[in-house]
Amino acid sequence: MRVKLILPALTEATSPFFRPVKYSLFPPLGLATLAGYLPPDTQVSLHDEHVERLNLDDGVTPDLVVIQVYITSARRSYEIADHYRARGAYVVLGGLHVTALPDEAARHADTIFLGPGEDTWPVFLADLRRREPQRRYVSTTRTLAGLPPVRRDLIARHRYLVPNSIVVSRGCPHHCDFCYKDAFFAGGKSFYTQAVDDALAEIDRLPGQHLYFLDDHLFGNRRFATALFDGMAGMGRLWQAAGTVDAVLAPDLLERAVGAGLRSLFVGFETVNDGNLAATRKRQNIGRDYSAVVRRLHDHGVMVNGSFVFGLDDGPDVFDRTVDWAVEQGVETATFHILTPYPGTALYDRMEAEGRMLHRDWDRYDTRQVVYRPSRLTASQLTDGYHRAYRNFYRWPAIWRGAAGKDSLRGRLRHVAYAGGWKKFEPAWDAVIRARRVLHALPLLEAVLGGFGERPATDRRTVPTDHTARADHRTRTARPDGAPGLGSANITGLP
């Protein structure tokens, strides 16, 4: 059987907003995980349109085509699906957008998958072998037990800055009403993790020093996170991840993460207007001192990538207030978004009922364009303010001002190197990517991240763990995995 796994390009990845470095970060782990279930004699290929051109007319028609669909890749996904179906291939679609709008997706597929695929994908493969595939598979059983190894051999590592991306959990324990993934996990557990030994085994298999956890909330299960960080201590890894403000403020958990190599954390601050948090069910942020969150991370040598959403119940001053706060706190990088009500979310349903949705052109649901009617701003004000926030935060004076608050010259230089390097050296990044040498920049990233781990000796702590016994136990019992199931996102909110 010939199988082609495809991650179509997001619309914004082919637009004037395209930044090659942003879309050359992470390989499509979800599809590489599905490949692990295929029989050994399967001829399988993995294609990511963000880093390579997809040849639709190569003269070979696959038996099975698997396409992962996000909202802003839906149009392109359907084009590819229709093309291969016309040529006689069996086409299946899965992903966040398919789960949100299954009837729309079903018009372009032989089979669709709703929700994560750990339980439904093996069933489909068995049905396909019997020539009895169903039109629709709906996930209900949520477990990461028994997953095969991720087919990392299918990933062209040289095309990605962060080939060592990994996922050790699914979903999130929180239920923010603008979150695209809440509907994706409906009908079963919305947050679940691997066995710790399985996660550690996958980490052991990854070469080099740097890791990027693409989990929505790596700290979401304290017991799992604590055991994972204790197991990673002594591995010599440098890693980045995403967490919440309440997890950062939780006693002892951050210390264990830092001891295991955490050097950068993506934090969803979302808004500087406290009143917006309850309205969006962002309860984990309510009553939290954001300044204390940033200060605690910096005190432990962890870089902050802050995420902010404009267009909640905001007035015209929100853009400058947000940027000023982030710069004053010394936040190294910031990601700004225009509020986007995705289909399948509570926010979309509410906006639709109020008659505030402007259209259903999914290409424009990219968090850069206004697709609804704001309450206290015009669409023009919201768009202009969003672009102004990015410009002002990444101006050299702002970068230097944010760096000035660091305690050491080394810390200040690293702030400038990371924030400036990410946004100010686009031509250099573009040249490296076009030359397919992006992986050669990884040592530079590791050097910068490593500098954030330098702390005064009096601030260091040791996390007690029997590494030798744990390593021996992993050797005996480990089963590797660590990637998202069918449809799970591996797109992070990077600036």
Model confidence pLDDT, tens digit, residues 94-143: 999 999 999 999 999 999 999 999 999 999 999 999 999 999 999 999 99
Give dist(CA 50, CA 30) in Å, integer. 15
Q: Which residue has the tokens 């990219």?
A: 366
Question: Which residues of the chain fall below pLDDT 50?
Answer: 277-287, 456-494
- Identify whether the C-beta of residue 241 lies closer than 8 Å to the C-beta of residue 266: yes
Q: From 152, 16, 71, 43, select the one nearest 363 (Cα to Cα).
A: 71
Model confidence pLDDT, tens digit, residues 230-243: 999 999 999 999 99
- Identify whether the C-beta of residue 486 lies closer than 8 Å to the C-beta of residue 114: no
Q: Which residue has the tokens 């669709």?
A: 112
Give dist(CA 212, CA 162) in Å, integer. 7
What is residue 494's predicted lDDT score, i.e. its pLDDT?
Answer: 47
What is residue 106's predicted lDDT score, i.e. its pLDDT?
Answer: 98
Q: Which residues pair with 333 in a beta bridge?
A: 305
Where in the chain are the domains?
Answer: 2-138, 153-452
User: Regarding the domain delimited by 2-138, which CATH topology (the fold level of the hierarchy) does it fall under?
Assistant: Rossmann fold (3.40.50)
What is residue 471's predicted lDDT score, i.e. its pLDDT?
Answer: 33
Model confidence pLDDT, tens digit, residues 213-230: 999 999 999 999 999 999
> Does 2-138 match 153-452 in CATH topology?
no
DSSP state of 73: G
13 sits in which H/E element = none
Assessment of whether the complete model's pTM goes beyond 0.85: yes
Class of the CATH-defined domain 153-452: alpha beta
